[in-house]
A = this chain, B = another copy of it.
Amino acid sequence: MFRPRLSSLPNGSALQNCKPPASSSVFGSSRYTRHHARFHSTQADVQASRVQVELSQNRKPRPDPANLSFGKVFTDHMLTIPWKASSGWGAPQIHPYRPFSLEPSVGVFHYAQCLFEGLKAYRDETGKVTLFRPDMNMERMNTSAQRIALPAFNGDEVIELLKQLIRLDKDWIPNVPGYSLYIRPTMIGSQPVIGIAPPSEALLFVICSPVGPYYPEGFKPVALYGTTEYSRAAPGGIGAYKLGANYAAGLIAQKEAAKKGYVQNLWLHGPEHHVTEVGTMNAFAVFKRPDGTTEIATPPLDGMILPGITRDSVLNIARDHVAGKYKIAGLPDKLVVSERQMTMREVKEAAQSGSLVEFFGTGTAAVISPVNKIGYLGEDIQIPTGPDGMGPVSRPIWQQLVGIQTGIIQHPWSVVVVE
């Protein structure tokens, strides 16, 4: 069993010349332009300086880290920012964690006017607290909002408010390696009218939940069921947006995969069964090519793939390695990084011929989730994994990524919340 030994990761010495990745945007345009373009002059944007803070008078007991299960326990405080079409964003409020009172007619109950983000705050041994690439979450959240006619907002101001919220509840981050605080920004349509129209009222809120390591016992490769009965996304649809609507519709495929004895499902698309996503994660495959190079490949952002922040980080780390900007010990030198379509036929043939090196999912919760088997059209495709559960490409990338996330490797992706 492999337990991450972060102290043995490459240390700060190599990082003096570390630069932000060439493209810090997976969306292809500046978030500043986008965030501000849609505001009329009469509408207020989110302003962190207007925040009203109501401290909790009844601090809850901290949960025992050993018994944490994902997303069931929430910290003492939360952030709420109301929006109205007529006036824009109201004063942000940080207040005790408590239920919402909502009319039965609000849009989120009827028309799935909801979207979310997920990111983590990490605390290192010295007490320093950091967030990982929160600007990417804010950018994607704005993109999601636009897709379902919910309001845009200034992501930098919300990051400032996230920091204030996390500082208030920072002692909820368990003081145990591998633990973190999961931050869940959410937006819902809250107009109390059942006519179908873009909502004229909305609520942005953020709740926080302490979480343990995804693999407390070391990496455990998962078996996937290649879903051909259901589809996750289609051209012109919502697959590229982090909308609640993608998740409700996906549960049944996960349920059926579990019934067949698999841990998760692998979403396939079209008659050629293109690989798209692994459950709620992005999909990566690694191939050994005839010319001696190693290819790390993931489906392109063609409108059906969620622009994952871990996906983007994996691609950037691999590309910086290839470009020689930022060498990662253990990664093959002759590495080719591809965003391209791959069919199940290709994956299957590569597995049979021995040229499939590994297959994994990426996401905020698990970071990297190795796969050891794909059930496809009645047979099981076996995928190689190393003795530690990982593969030769995902292992060094994971070490680098987790090193940055936990603050052991200094990097501009890491945003300081508490010094």
Using CB atoms and an 8 Å cutoff, list the residues of chain A in contact with chain B.
69-72, 74, 78, 97, 99-105, 108-114, 116, 146-149, 184, 186, 188-189, 192-198, 205, 207, 209, 229-231, 233-238, 243-252, 254-255, 280
Contact = CB atoms under 8 A, between A and B. Distances in A.
Contacts of A236: 229-231
A8 B122 CA distance: 74
A277 B187 CA distance: 28
Contacts of A231: 234-237
B149 A112 contact: no
A102 to B, nearest CB: 6
Given A100-B101, A112-B246, A245-B249, 17 more contacts: A69-B195, A71-B195, A72-B193, A99-B102, A108-B114, A110-B114, A110-B184, A110-B244, A111-B244, A111-B251, A112-B245, A112-B248, A112-B249, A149-B255, A198-B251, A233-B234, A234-B237
B243 A112 contact: yes
Nearest to A252: B149
Given A245-B245, A249-B238, A108 B105 contact: no
Given A99-B101, A186-B104, A195-B69, A113 B248 contact: yes
Contacts of A116: 110
A250 B107 CA distance: 13
Contact of A251 (B193, B196, B246): B196
A102 B104 contact: no
Contacts of A238: 249
Nearest to A236: B231
A250 B113 CA distance: 11
A111 B149 contact: no
A105 B148 contact: no
Identify the interface centre among A110, A184, A189, A231: most chain B CB within 10 Å of its CB: A110
A306 to B, nearest CB: 13
Contact of A248 (B70, B101, B243): B243
Contacts of A72: 192-193, 195
A99 B114 CA distance: 19
B252 A147 contact: yes
